[in-house]
Amino acid sequence: MARKAVILPGNGAGDVFRSNWYGWANEKLNEIPDFSSTLKNMPDPITARRSIWLPFMKNELSVDENTIVIGHSSGACAAIRYAEENKVLGIILVGAYTSDLGDVNEAESGYFKDPWRWEEARSNAKFIVQFGSTDDPFLPWNEQEAVAKGLNAELKKYDDKGHFMNSTFPELINVVKEKLASS
Q: Hey, which residues are catalytic here?
A: 73, 136, 163
- C-alpha 49/C-alpha 156 separation (Å) is 27
- C-alpha 58/C-alpha 64 separation (Å) is 7
Selection from 174, 179, 183 nearest residue 153 by Cα:
179
Contact 66, 4 (CB under 8 A): yes
* Residue 177 phi, psi (nearest 5): -60, -40
Q: Give the CA distances from residue 123 to residues 69, 77, 154, 177, 181, in Å, rounded to whole numbers and listed in that order.
A: 15, 17, 15, 22, 21
